[in-house]
């Protein structure tokens, strides 16, 4: 047997022992893991629950968001904005998604729609991601001087059949708080900038149901 593997193993062990006293905290231990075995990847919950994947060949997806009138009164077009952000997130991860502008145009012309499957049939997709936004706010509780994005959404996936009907095959409650530890003073960042930052965070949180990600991706959410 070649002595190279055993020498390599001893070398890694020596490096690990030497570095551990210098590493204090979660972030540093993650970095050590990268040095030894690469970043840990988290599989999409949708894939694990259903045995299916949005990244399968020629699979197409439509993203639709519903927000109640009281949320839209305070945050105009939040349903369209969140659907757009989630769509872009999926596209970034090589998932084929219907242009959200086309979907919004159809929704504006068909305000009596009552089922996500109607959108799926209209755009001839394989899946519809339906986001029911229950709660959404950009401010810390009882404060107008601290930003802290908070939301609750119910995410479901409808798999379309050839006849235009659909069946729900996946569902997940998504709770989001950003930053996770403390709010951000409104004097540090503009409203529009923080809003875009939080939508980016929330869309990634939802998107991670459908694409893989790394543990280190969560580190920046504390502040």
Q: Are the beta carbons of 63 and 133 closer than 8 angstroms?
A: no
Question: Do 20 and 50 fall into the same domain?
Answer: no
Residues 57 and 164 in one domain: yes
Is pLDDT above 70 for 167? yes
Cis peptide before 179 (omega within 30 of 0): yes
Whether 168 and 88 map to the same domain: the answer is yes
User: In this structure, are 28 and 56 located in the same domain?
Assistant: no
Residue with tokens 């989001």: 176
pLDDT in tens, 86-98: 999 999 999 999 9
Examine the domain organization and report whether 177 and 145 are in the same domain: yes
CATH number at residue 88: 3.40.50
Query: Helices 116-123 and 100-109 sit at what angle, rounded to 10 degrees?
Result: 120
Query: Does residue 187 have a pLDDT over 90?
Result: yes
* Beta bridge partner(s), residue 168: 158
Chain centre distance of CA 163: 30
Tokens of 30: 């993650």
pLDDT of residue 18: 45
For residues 188 and 175, membership in a common domain is answered with yes
Task: Kindly state whether residues 149 and 122 are assigned to the same domain.
Answer: yes
Helical (H) or strand (E) element with 92? helix 78-92
Task: Note whether 166 and 184 are same-domain residues.
Answer: yes
pLDDT at residue 12, as a whole number:
40
Q: Tell me: do 25 and 53 sit in the same domain.
A: no
Sign of the Cα pseudo-torsion (161, 165, 170, 173, in order): positive
pLDDT, tens digit (0-9, with 9 covering 90-100), for 3-62: 444 454 444 444 444 444 444 444 454 454 444 445 558 899 999 999 999 999 999 999
**Over 80: is that where the pLDDT of 159 sits?**
yes
Of 173, 182, 184, the residue nearest 151 (C-alpha):
173
Q: What are phi and psi of 193, to 5 degrees?
A: -65, -45
Please tell me the pTM assigned to this model.
0.80
Range of the domain at 86: 43-221
Same domain, 73 and 161: yes
Dihedral over Cα of 79, 82, 86, 92: its sign: positive
Number of domains the chain contains: 2
Statement to judge: residues 8 and 110 lie in one domain: no
The answer, yes or no, to whether residue 110 has pLDDT greater than 90, is: yes
> Do 32 and 47 share a domain, yes or no?
no
């Amino acid at each position: 047997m070649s002595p190279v593997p055993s020498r390599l193993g001893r070398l890694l062990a020596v490096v690990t022992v030497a570095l551990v006293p210098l590493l204090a905290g979660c972030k540093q231990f993650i970095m050590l893991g990268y040095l030894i075995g690469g970043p840990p990847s988290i599989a999409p919950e949708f894939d694990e629950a259903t045995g299916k994947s949005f990244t399968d060949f020629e699979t197409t997806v439509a993203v639709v968001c519903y927000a109640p009138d009281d949320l839209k009164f305070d945050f105009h077009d939040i349903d369209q904005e969140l659907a757009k952000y989630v769509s872009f997130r999926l596209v970034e991860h090589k998932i084929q998604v219907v242009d959200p502008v086309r979907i919004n145009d159809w929704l504006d012309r068909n305000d009596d729609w009552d089922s996500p499957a109607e959108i799926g049939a209209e755009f001839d997709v394989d899946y519809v991601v339906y986001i029911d936004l229950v709660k959404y706010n950009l401010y810390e509780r009882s404060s107008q001087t601290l930003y802290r994005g908070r939301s609750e959404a119910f995410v479901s996936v409808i798999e379309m059949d050839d006849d235009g009907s659909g069946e729900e095959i996946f569902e997940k409650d998504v709770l989001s708080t950003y930053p996770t530890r403390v709010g951000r003073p409104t004097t540090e960042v503009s409203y529009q900038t923080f809003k875009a930052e939080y939508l980016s965070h929330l869309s990634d949180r939802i998107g991670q149901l459908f694409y893989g990600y790394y543990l280190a991706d969560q580190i920046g959410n504390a502040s």
